Chain A
């Protein structure tokens, strides 16, 4: 018995939710705010939970079915019988897509439930849940599609949802009157369009070469053509398959850079934090941004063919190596940039970019299972961290409201003038959110904005562990998992990536190891600034724990973060593999043996057709020691630097200045602090302010890309469109009018004129026939 027939339900359920919420949600909420919110929120959540249950049943069916991929056709999408051109809309249910479905719907359901609490009182409550269900729908299309084209529909759809949700509070202006949220949405859209352009070109090339975009068609024929040294004809030009696939995989990398926020297109992700926090957790940490990694893993055969053939881009670097390097450098730089962020969500945003870099680096160096393993565990702990940060922000806002009520608002804000460096845009947005929420609750608190307080700025926090104990514990678990502390999920998955690269790509291993050290450092900095020390703002003193609706999903995610490592635990995986060896059905399951069935390049490597570097899952004492040492060292370093700091919200960052007594007390440390830290800090600040913001964000993106885009758009709108296209259209109209005006003159209305015309015509015909006859 299997339940593959149920597969379409995972698409239908979110559609039901989004239609009901989209059409009637607003009316429910307006009719009765409390019950309406509960109704729309739980409706959306239940649909996602339903999709999760269906995914679970698909998982069980796959087990019973011996892990073989199943194609569930839905309908003929594009059918041109005369040309023999047929594209089916079908779902491919295999171990890879089911893994993604489980993550998307499982983590998605938890975030839906959390959002019911978080979005409470928002005037656009039902719109939010409509978008969330729309997102789940498109994300499931993306992962379940049986061809690149169907995947691309989902790919574009989640991009749209990302845009809609980043600019969810689109009308809000920051303190300079700039619609920062709407701009952030546009930025995400445009960055992603650049990447999509690569994906479209890659698909055209694939279709040209293989005549199909189905996974089950492309991969086998790619291998077959590769083995027979097939040449691909482009008109008169004949090109080796490996060259074509190099172009395809490089173009896919562009798409991955856009969707998964890699160098050079990563800049939209930090800006995307303008969206509500559940969105940051769901779309911009756990699921959508991993679509790029999914694309890489799905296309593993193509990348491995390129790797095996040794084809390179201009003789410099092969595309899998390029992917690995892009990922590793992204992991490294994003971790460094995270050092100088003061906005709690921005730290997590750069951390996400960095962790996505780990996954991309893993996929690029051939550790596909490790990439997926890290994708899953990262979905757990990063969703946990984002939702935790939402809980912190919620608590800070609560504290701030408390102040406004108690009547000692602005004055007690200790040093509130500290400029909120990069977080200012989103911060102001959240203040506006707060003001809105107040109106909903019936309190006018318009004076709150005056002291420049920002509930997301970590400099105003401190000591929150006493005020928000549940949030603190789960946040601590998530942070330690992110830092890679044994035995939390993050350790196992990161370790697997490091182990693979230590074996096969030492330079990438070194870059990733440094990134891991940096990760632990900013994790320590954030933990200390948020939860330890003394409160640096009255709001932090009065912060309150979030409601159970928000903390329950946090606890569940914390549980998953603790246990996530079991998915592919080295010893367990080995034992299971041996058990599978003895058991005919091979039912004992770890991520490695589970995903193996979707990764065709594994089997091809065993047959000796592809040269895939493969690392068996085991715990290398060397790598585990190095990674634990780096994690503990980074945390310790962070602790030493930030212990009890900053004391006030306006105190400069610890990395920026070093007190004299370090010289006396800890000479070695102070040497480090005097020599390395300021230089390093300058480097980090330079990287963040100059390279990242001034160069990438302001210069390359705003000047170069935006100006080129604006100039191009201006040219198309005012010259091409207004004069060219409009000229053509209006010209056609004017010509017709002029012609008609001339022809009208022949219609005199005098009967004799018509008679004469008939007469002359008759004579003309007569003459013609006579002459012809003659």
Chain B
């Protein structure tokens, strides 16, 4: 039986990871890094799910993590394809240059 780590630590770590991810999405310009930040946010959520599952002794959280991973994989596949397509047309993946959708 591993020593039980207080749930608060998990919440703190998860929050920090989520904040890093969110700031990365908001501040970085490179589309690949944006993606990695999104993944980071998803995984911070996964961490929290697992931690709570363990803490509450309920497997629902663990099951949900699989769904999240699956969706994330699909999302990466679509997202990377988009980035490749954008790169082919614009020779750049700087998302500030992808600004055609304005009023």
Indicate whether A and B interact: yes
Which of A746, A748, A755 makes the CB contact (< 8 A) with B25? A755
Rounded to whole angstroms, the CA-CA distance of A747 and B102 in the bound complex is 5
Residues of A within 8 A of B25 (CB): 752, 755, 759
Interface residues of A in 721-757 (CB under 8 A from B): 743-752, 755-756
Interface window among B46-54, B56-64, B68-76, B92-100: B92-100
Which of A743, A746, A749 makes the CB contact (< 8 A) with B101? A749
Interface centre among B25, B26, B96, B103 (most CB of A within 10 A): B103
How many A-B Cβ pairs are below 8 Å?
Answer: 30
Residues of B within 8 A of A752 (CB): 25-27, 95-96
With both chains docked as a complex, state the minimum distance between the C-beta of A767 and any C-beta of chain B, in angstroms. 15
Name which residue of chain B comes closest to A759, CB basis.
B22
Q: Mark A756-774, 1 if CB is under 8 A from B, else 0.
A: 1001000000000000000
Name which residue of chain B comes closest to A744, CB basis.
B103
Rounded to whole angstroms, the CA-CA distance of A755 and B103 in the bound complex is 17
Residues of B within 8 A of A759 (CB): 22, 25-26
Rounded to whole angstroms, the CA-CA distance of A749 and B103 in the bound complex is 8
Rounded to whole angstroms, the CA-CA distance of A747 and B100 in the bound complex is 10
A755 pairs with B102, CB closer than 8 A: no
Name which residue of chain A comes closest to B101, CB basis.
A749
Name which residue of chain B comes closest to A743, CB basis.
B103
Residues of B within 8 A of A751 (CB): 95, 98-99
B103 pairs with A747, CB closer than 8 A: yes
Rounded to whole angstroms, the CA-CA distance of A747 and B99 in the bound complex is 10
Q: Mark B18-47, 1 if CB is under 8 A from A, else 0.
A: 000010011100000000000000000000
Residues of A within 8 A of B96 (CB): 750, 752
Rounded to whole angstroms, the CA-CA distance of A755 and B37 in the bound complex is 12
A750 pairs with B26, CB closer than 8 A: no
Rounded to whole angstroms, the CA-CA distance of A743 and B22 in the bound complex is 26
B100 pairs with A749, CB closer than 8 A: yes
Which of A743, A747, A749, A756 makes the CB contact (< 8 A) with B26? A756
B22 pairs with A747, CB closer than 8 A: no
Rounded to whole angstroms, the CA-CA distance of A518 and B11 in the bound complex is 115
Name which residue of chain A comes closest to B34, CB basis.
A751
B26 pairs with A748, CB closer than 8 A: no
B99 pairs with A749, CB closer than 8 A: yes
Name which residue of chain A comes closest to B99, CB basis.
A749
A748 pairs with B95, CB closer than 8 A: no
A745 pairs with B26, CB closer than 8 A: no
Name which residue of chain A comes closest to B95, CB basis.
A751
Rounded to whole angstroms, the CA-CA distance of A207 and B27 in the bound complex is 74
Residues of B whose CB lies within 8 Å of any CB of A are: 22, 25-27, 95-96, 98-103
4 closest A-B pairs by beta carbon, nearest first, are: A749-B102, A749-B99, A744-B103, A747-B103
Known: A749-B99, A752-B26, A752-B96. 20 other contacts (CB 8 A): A743-B103, A744-B103, A745-B103, A746-B103, A747-B101, A747-B103, A748-B99, A748-B102, A749-B100, A749-B102, A750-B95, A750-B96, A750-B99, A752-B25, A752-B95, A755-B25, A755-B26, A756-B26, A759-B25, A759-B26
A-B contacts, 14 listed (Cβ < 8 Å): A747-B101, A747-B102, A748-B99, A749-B100, A750-B95, A751-B95, A751-B98, A751-B99, A752-B25, A752-B26, A755-B26, A756-B26, A759-B22, A759-B25
